Amino acid sequence: MLDGGLPGSGLIEIFGERAVGKSVLCLQAAFAAAAKGRNALIIDTELGYEKGLLPYWSKPLGERFGSRISCRRVSVERRLEEGRRKRATEAVLKEAIKNTLAQHQMDASDGQLAQIISILSPVARLTADKAENAVYLLEEPGLAGLMGLHGIDGEMSVSEGGRVELRLRPGGVREPENSPVGGFVRDNDIGLLIYDSISAPAKSTFTGTQDLPARSSSFAFLLGQAQKMSSRFGLPVLAINHISVHPHNPAWTHPYGGLIVGYDFKHVFHLEREPSASKLEEYPISNRDRMEKHNRLLWSYRHPRVDQYGQAALLHLDEHGFH
């Protein structure tokens, strides 16, 4: 369905229900890219890789794609203003804020802490050990922090009516190659950029229908920067997305984020668990004769040459990954 693999540039989206294997598929794509000599960068907005995926999947994927592949953490270095010598990592700032809140018997989630830090310390730089055949992991759960790392200087505010609003500061969007993420991609030979997931930061920020305009603007700016990086660096971008179900018609499923998200991705795929045998006989499956084992189904949801749900492929997920 992709004519031989991930394209040299372009935005690709995979959406589906929780626990269907979307993150495993992304991690496998990162290992495959690293095995071919190009590093991969995973932006983890759900904080699920370091303690969830990597301890289990690093060994089998490393054995499958090559033992030389290493997983390395990316640190966010922030400072209060440009030119100041004193610097602190994001982890140090988080700990300081946590301790201050604890003294007043208050607590904050990782997403809330990330948003506080992105406001206090807008100047950021990404750092990691230089390596080849590497899968780099960057954790950023907050939307404000994620936008800042892409060179988008905006301010989130809540109106008197409870609506979240996004306002750009003067000169609020830098060229993507001058952003922290763009600079890291350029300086570390990144051949694949992955967002897992693109929707989680927005879901924790925009909770009602009154926030839809701000949500659309946030997605437009963020995906616009990703699209520019993809084009200028010849960089394929793979993003995981949650699924939205129509409240009055559960059978109608689509990617989270509305039209803005739908228009920005060139290819969109729907990953689901394998349906019944009778339904499989009716589906337009392209590799039916080549898959003896299968427990997942990948649909073509948006494709330049295939109608919506006009083509599907059988997949098999086991302890060694997807086949």
The per-residue pLDDT for range 75-99, each reduced to its tens digit, is 987 665 555 455 566 677 778 888 8
pLDDT recorded at residue 172: 76
| Tokens of residue 303, six digits | 């494709």
In this structure, the strands spanning 75-79 and 39-44 are unpaired
Here the tokens at position 71 are: 């997983």
Residue 29 covered by a domain: yes
With respect to residue 318, please indicate whether it lies within any of the assigned structural domains: no
Q: Kindly state whether residue 117 falls inside one of the protein's structural domains.
A: yes
Longest pairwise C-alpha distance within the chain: 66
Q: Mark whether 30 and 149 lie in a shared domain.
A: yes
3-state helix, strand, coil in the chain (%, to 5): 35, 30, 30
Shared-domain flag, residues 87 and 218: no
| Residues 26, 142 share a domain | yes
- How many domains are there within the chain? 2
Whether residues 116 and 248 fall in one domain: no
Is there a single domain that holds both residue 236 and residue 209? yes
Q: Both 194 and 261 in a single domain?
A: yes
pTM as predicted: 0.86
- Tell whether 55 is covered by a domain: yes
User: Is the predicted pLDDT of residue 119 greater than 70, yes or no?
Assistant: no
Residues 105 and 200 in one domain: no
**How high is the pLDDT of residue 307?**
92
Q: For the chain, what is the mean pLDDT? A: 86
Domain boundary among 233, 254, 274: 274
Domain with 46 in it: 10-74+128-274
pLDDT per residue as tens digits for the range 278-317: 889 899 999 999 998 999 999 999 998 899 999 999 999 9
Q: Do residues 60 and 27 lie in contact, with contact meaning Cβ atoms separated by under 8 Å? A: no
Going by pLDDT thresholds of 50, 70 and 90, the confidence category of residue 111 is low
Among 7-16, 32-41, 154-163, 209-218, name the one with the lowest average pLDDT.
154-163
Selection from 237, 303, 225, 226 nearest residue 268 by Cα = 303
pLDDT of residue 279: 87
> Would you say residue 152 has pLDDT above 70?
yes
What is the structure's pLDDT at 123?
A: 58
pLDDT band (50, 70, 90) for residue 174: confident
Same domain, residue pair 166 and 258: yes
Q: Does one domain contain both 238 and 137?
A: yes
pLDDT of residue 183: 93
What CATH number does the domain containing 200 carry?
3.40.50.300
Residue 87: its pLDDT value, please?
56
State the pLDDT confidence band at 7, using cuts at 50, 70 and 90. Answer: confident
Are 261 and 280 in contact by the 8 Å Cβ rule? The answer is no
Question: Which residues have C-beta within 8 Å of that of residue 28, sequence separation ≥ 6?
Answer: 61, 321, 322
